[in-house]
Structure 1
């Protein structure tokens, strides 16, 4: 019988998305950059925000973390933000410490109720699972506007303003926001709820052909390309699937986006080179005939989701103020 050392020698990487994810021949998965998860808090000492974890669907089993800021009145109604975390569809969690801190801050400063949706990740659950989980989370929130909400929660029932429902997300979460907003344009939400606003921070968009500063040689083997092929191996159209490339030939018209306001933010020095596609997306939304209002913000000297890792920098404070103002509109 071979030793442990011998067995480790036979353990080879079959999917290499390092430093994000690696899958080995024995089925084990390594996510070296994944942040630690943290429990909810009765009251966050820094912001005063309360949080709790809930199960909103038993089949499939789906969970979320809810956030409620300090109230000035017991019957106070607040905007609702349904939040989608980023992590290349394959790592991180709604319960990760960086996303928990981020939601505490947004809930406190913008005075919003947040439902941070825990979607299932690849490769255990390939796309479109995460898209469906995020849509299910928004639908669950919207059921609170009906007479018979599903697995109702008092924070949303008592304090949610269903005329001011937002969705927001970062990186792959921004991609999720776009796709949920597109679905909301063609599929009714429970209770007749309409999305008021959507924000996309540093959204992961890509395509089959390089644009701007994207590498021409080896384009198919870039991390950006491999993430999609790893997370959605059966995607119709591959890298030009409209869920990844909203500007692909034959993609649905952006005029059908199911919200009234949109904010697109860009990092000028995004090391993943998403910024050119994000700016083209913004221009395409503006020119699509969509009836809403869209705003673009670029932080020229910063990298991808910089505000997640240094939330007290002047640049981070600037984007947080932008998000807070957007949610208060």
Structure 2
């Protein structure tokens, strides 16, 4: 690494070929406080990257240097000493739509304006208007700080689940960190579930739920951080109840729980945390025994960095005293939330099929 005589260009010699215009990870993590703004030029014919530095970078004040110093670096974001938070992932959203292939319809509803809570509701193709349908309350993942019920990945996933299971789905849009620090996501999701329950007497604000929902067959499901939130919802149902609703099952896909390097990220996002033993991070035996459902299905991916804590949850649930049946499905050779990145692959289709079969009481002990 060297500076040109004019002090305007920094050259990095790379030990491997550059592909397209992608910058190696180590460049992103370079700790040079004078990289205020960068213009990057990549040549596939060269093993060098030329970075154009601003002409006044040597004139930056000590305060600027301080403000650009990192305080924390987590999996999904980093925190600077001046309080700025830089997320590593953006969230793209798409509008609701009617799926021409499956016949699944979707629309968005507002649950609360303060705090801002909404949801996307999915209705399968109706063949018998007199038949009531099971309800899936879905909680998307994304490390509590990105992704959305309105993102293409989750819209596609929930559409597939609804078409396969012939169920109504309510995919909740909860507040994200840092705009809404934890435990906001838990409270928003609980408010969303209570909103669903408010339709049990058939005079709630949403006609689809009033007309088609079977409130004796309600399921809660989610992936990754959404799996963590889903667990806390099931505990609340078992502790506080949910009038008019029978929670039949809980479905956790590659769930996040305490016991990994991401613990401190969760603690940072939740200023009112109870430490590493916080039951929302590391479920207690008492909470596990109070799950308010009779069935649990857990999906694992063999190469998932959360596989270990998911297995811990499974073992702790079995010996907690909870009276219910827990099933496990593992996909070999796959990574965390592979079904979102490769929704059309054979194992992702298998995940959707088994998830949907569980809702329809068809999954047998594996």
Name the TM-score class by shorter chain.
0.7 to 0.9
**Deviation by residue 1:80-100 (Cα, 9 ceiling, x = unmatched):** 000000011111111111111
Task: Answer yes or no: is the 8 Å Cα contact 1:90–1:123 preserved in 2.
Answer: yes
What stretches of structure 2 of length at least 5 have no aligned partner? 1-53, 362-366
User: Which of 184, 200, 209 pairs up with 1:129?
Assistant: 184
Give the TM-score normalised by structure 2.
Answer: 0.77
Structure 1 range deviating more: 68-77 or 167-176: 68-77
Distance 2:172 2:72 in 1: 27
Determine helix, strand or coil for the equivalent of 1:65: strand
Shift of 1:64: 0.5
RCO higher in structure (CA 8 A, sep ≥6):
1
Distance 1:44 1:203 in 2: 29
Aligned CA-pair RMSD: 2.2
Q: In the comparison of the two structures, how many residue pairs are matched? A: 303
Distance 1:142 1:3 in 2: 60
User: Which of 17, 22, 42 pairs up with 2:74?
Assistant: 17
Which residue matches 2:317?
A: 285
Which residue matches 1:229?
A: 267
Structure 1 range deviating more: 81-90 or 49-58: 49-58
Are residues 1:176 and 2:176 paired? no
User: Which of 281, 288, 291 pairs up with 1:254?
Assistant: 288
Q: Please say which structure displays the higher CA radius of gyration.
A: 2
Shift of 1:134: 0.8
User: Which of 100, 104, 107 pairs up with 2:159?
Assistant: 104
Determine helix, strand or coil for the equivalent of 2:350: helix
Shift of 1:14: 4.0
Give the TM-score normalised by structure 1.
Answer: 0.85
What stretches of structure 1 of length at least 5 have no aligned partner? 208-213, 215-221
Determine helix, strand or coil for the equivalent of 1:99: helix
Distance 2:113 2:181 in 1: 19
Which residue matches 1:239?
A: 276
Distance 2:161 2:71 in 1: 39
Task: Answer yes or no: is the 8 Å Cα contact 2:165–2:356 preserved in 1.
Answer: yes
Distance 1:4 1:26 in 2: 21
Distance of aligned partners of 1:4 and 1:186 in 2 relative to their CA distance in 1, 3 Å threshold: farther
Distance 1:133 1:59 in 2: 10
Which residue matches 1:37?
A: 93
Task: Answer yes or no: is the 8 Å Cα contact 1:146–1:190 preserved in 2.
Answer: no
**Deviation by residue 1:149-202 (Cα, 9 ceiling, x = unmatched):** 3xx1011110100010000000000101111101111102133x1211110111
Task: Answer yes or no: is the 8 Å Cα contact 1:12–1:24 preserved in 2.
Answer: yes
Distance of aligned partners of 1:172 and 1:226 in 2 relative to their CA distance in 1, 3 Å threshold: same
User: Which of 220, 230, 241 pairs up with 1:167?
Assistant: 220
Which residue matches 1:320?
A: 352
Distance of aligned partners of 1:289 and 1:95 in 2 relative to their CA distance in 1, 3 Å threshold: same
Which residue matches 2:300?
A: 266
